[in-house]
Amino acid sequence: MIAGARSFLFVPGHRPDRFAKAAASGCDVVVLDLEDAVGPDQKVQAREHVRAWLANGGEVVVRINGPGTPWFDDDLAAVTDATAVMVPKAEDPAVLASIGTPVIPLIETALGVARAVEVCAAEGVVRPAFGSIDLAAQLGVDHHSHTALQHARSAVVIAAAAAARAAPIDGVTTELDDPAVLRADLAHAIELGFTAKLCIHPRQVGPVHEACTPTAAEVEWAEGVLASAGDGSVSVHKGQMVDRPVILRAQAILARAGAG
C-alpha cells in the first residue's frame, strides 16, 4: 500500500473528529500527525487519540516527533500497530533501522539530503518523503522555488532508486486556493521522478491522483512497447528503439496505472 500510494493526507493527531473523515476522503493513505500540527501542550493527548484509533483497527501512517525530541520514544511505543511510521528530520540510518516497523523517512534537512542514499537504504525503509518547507527554511530559500530545491529533490529521487526503494513522495503545497500552484508543483515533481505527494487538505487529493496516474496515452505507449518487445530482444515501436531500459519504463508505467 505504501509503495504504490499516490496521496498521503495529513490529519492533526489532536483532532480525532477528523480521522474518519480523512479515511473517507478518497486519499490512498491517511497520515495522523503528532509533529508539526500539534503544539507541545497537546502532544500527549494527541498520542492517546492516535493510540486509540490504531487499537480500533485503523490503518494509517503516523508521523511521530523526531529523534532527539522529548516525545520520540513515547511516540514510537504508542504506534507499533501503525501501517508505517513517518520519521521527520531523518538523518541517521541507525535510528531508522532500530524502529522495527515500516518506515517513511522524511528527508527535510541538509544533512538528510547529504546522507539520502544511506537513509533510504536503512532497514525497514519503504520509500522516502521530501520535506520542502523545512529544508527551504534551513537553506534560506523560498519553498515555492522549484529551482532552489531541484537539486535536493533529485538527490532524494536518485537515492531511492540507488537503494531499490519505491519512488519518493513530494512535499506539501501550502496554497489551498490556487489549483494552478498545485498543478505546477505536481508537474515539476513528477518530471523529476516523484510518484506521490503529501497533502494537507482533502481537496488536494483528486488533483494529486490525476497527476500521479499515467495518462491513457502513456498506458497505450507502454502496452505497445511490451507488445513489440516479444522475446525481449531489441525491437522498434513507432520509430523508437525498444531495449531493456525502455521495457522497464513501460512496465513501471503499467504498474503505476494498475495501482491507481
The pair phi, psi for residue 209, each rounded to 5°, is -60, -40
pLDDT of residue 247: 83
Grid cell digits, residue 248: 522497464
Residues 6+ apart with CB under 8 A from 204: 7, 9, 173, 176, 182, 197
Give the confidence band of 254 by pLDDT, cuts at 50, 70, 90: confident
pTM of the complete model? 0.90
**Cell for 184?**
505546477
Query: Could you report the per-residue pLDDT of 139-197, keeping only the tens digit for each?
Result: 999 999 999 999 999 999 999 999 999 999 999 999 999 999 999 999 999 999 999 99
Report the pLDDT value the prediction gives residue 256, as an integer from 0 to 100: 78
Per-residue pLDDT at 235 exceeds 90: no
Residue matched to cell numbers 534537512:
109
Is the C-alpha dihedral spanning 242, 248, 252, 257 positive or negative?
A: positive
Question: Does an H or E element contain 54, and which?
Answer: helix 43-55
pLDDT of residue 230: 64
Condensed to tens digits (0 to 9), the pLDDT of residues 42-101 reads 999 999 999 999 999 989 999 999 999 999 999 999 999 999 999 999 999 999 999 999
Q: Tell which wins on pLDDT, 249 or 202.
A: 202
HSE on the CB side for 178, CA within 13 Å? Answer: 7
Cα–Cα distance for residue pair 79/81, rounded to 1 Å: 5
User: What is the pLDDT at residue 219?
Assistant: 81
Domain locations along the chain: 7-212, 216-259
* CB-based contact 167:194 (threshold 8 Å): yes
- Residue 248 reports pLDDT greater than 90: no
61 strand-pairing partners: 31, 84
Quickly state the pLDDT bin for 252 (edges 50, 70, 90). Answer: confident
CATH class of 7-212: alpha beta
pLDDT digits (tens, 9 = 90+) for 1-55: 899 999 999 999 999 999 999 999 999 999 999 999 999 999 999 999 999 999 9
Residue 69: per-residue pLDDT: 97
Cβ-contact 7, 27 below 8 angstroms: yes
Residue 170's nearest CA partner among 32, 1, 8, 38 is 8
Cell of 132: 520542502
Among 6-20, 212-226, 240-254, the range of highest mean pLDDT: 6-20
